[in-house]
Amino acid sequence: MPDEFYLLYIILFNCCDNFYVNHDEIDRQKKLTQLPIKKLPEESLEIPIEQIYRPGSALDMPIRPAWTYSRTKEQLEQQEQTYFNILAGIHPIAQVQEPYTAVGYLVQWLPMTKILKLGQLEHEKQNYSAMDICEGIDSKSIRT
């Protein structure tokens, strides 16, 4: 990692009170990034499908629980809820309460693309800087 990125890394994370920079760990990670990449043979890149998906295992293809018209709505929802609980145990990421980082990026980028499209209608083929985008937000009073 070049020195200017290292300094930026230190500046960004030293603003947090609870963050401790372990220089030995940083040096170890820097050395790991400088190691040559070992190219694997193509045979090792392929995994037989039987090794991953076994019928009856937790990673088997999900199927909808059986149902009939004679069941009540509450019975059906209770059966599906138990199925969802099983899936939540398999995939712990489904238990995360806050939105993924990608959702946050989309929330930021969608209004910006809207501003850029509005700007392209006014000024065709003009290059925009970050300052132009901010001024576009102010002048068009677009709320994000």
Per-residue pLDDT of the chain (144 residues; tens, 9 = 90+): 445 555 555 555 554 444 456 788 888 888 888 888 888 888 888 888 777 776 666 666 666 667 788 888 888 888 878 877 776 666 555 455 555 555 666 666 666 666 666 655 555 545 555 556 555 555 555 444
Q: What is the pTM of this model?
A: 0.25
Distance CA 5, CA 14 (A): 14
Domain boundaries, the chain: 3-33, 55-95, 101-140
Distance CA 75, CA 64 (A): 14
Token pair in block for residue 104: 């946050």
CB distance 119 to 128 below 8 Å = yes
Distance CA 53, CA 60 (A): 5
